[in-house]
């Protein structure tokens, strides 16, 4: 039986646009923000970058701005939710392949920008597509 690690590797072409964009982000971040920290969560690599505005999931690459999510004695529910939520987007990417960016990535980015500018309560942000689906997937595969 093939484990999840190898399945992820077989899907490189399936998720190529997200992977290329994710690697571009990492390259950019490595020059601009030295000292970022990397941790493994399931089959995804999470990079914690101080000052990164929110979170983004591109294939198996997740970039967040909060490290508290992996500190065992942390009570930061918001940080833990961010990890689970972005991991849910990672699963969406695995399922949708090349359709992920136009169906999930772009709508999520646009919605996030409008949401921040309107200063609405963040809990309502996660009630609609594709955010609600990402939460459900992230929680399902904990």
For residue range 78-106, list pLDDT tens digits in order: 567 888 999 999 999 999 999 999 999 99
Q: Are 14 and 97 in contact (CB under 8 A)?
A: yes
Sorted by sequence, the CB contacts under 8 Å of residue 115 that are 6+ apart come out as 122, 125
Q: What pTM did the predictor assign?
A: 0.83
**Under DSSP, is residue 15 helix (H, G, I), strand (E, B) or coil?**
coil
Per-residue tokens: 26: 């990492």
Q: Are 25 and 10 in contact (CB under 8 A)?
A: no
Q: pLDDT by residue (tens digit) across 33-84?
A: 766 778 888 889 998 887 788 889 999 899 988 665 555 545 554 567 888 9
CB atoms within 10 A of CB 68: 15
**Under DSSP, is residue 113 helix (H, G, I), strand (E, B) or coil?**
helix
Which sequence spans correspond to the domains of the chain? 4-140
């Amino acid at each position: 039986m093939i484990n999840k690690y190898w399945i992820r590797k077989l899907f490189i072409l399936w998720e190529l646009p997200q992977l290329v964009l994710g690697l571009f982000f990492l390259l950019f971040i490595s020059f601009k923000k030295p000292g970022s920290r990397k941790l493994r969560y399931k089959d995804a690599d999470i990079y914690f970058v101080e000052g990164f505005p929110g979170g983004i999931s591109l294939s198996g690459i997740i970039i967040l701005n909060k490290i508290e999510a992996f500190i065992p004695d942390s009570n930061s529910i918001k940080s833990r939710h961010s990890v689970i939520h972005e991991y849910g987007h990672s699963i969406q990417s695995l399922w949708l392949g090349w359709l992920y960016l136009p169906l999930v990535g772009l709508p999520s980015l646009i919605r996030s920008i409008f949401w921040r500018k309107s200063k609405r309560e963040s809990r309502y942000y996660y009630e609609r597509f594709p955010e609600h689906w990402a939460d459900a997937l992230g929680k399902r595969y904990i």
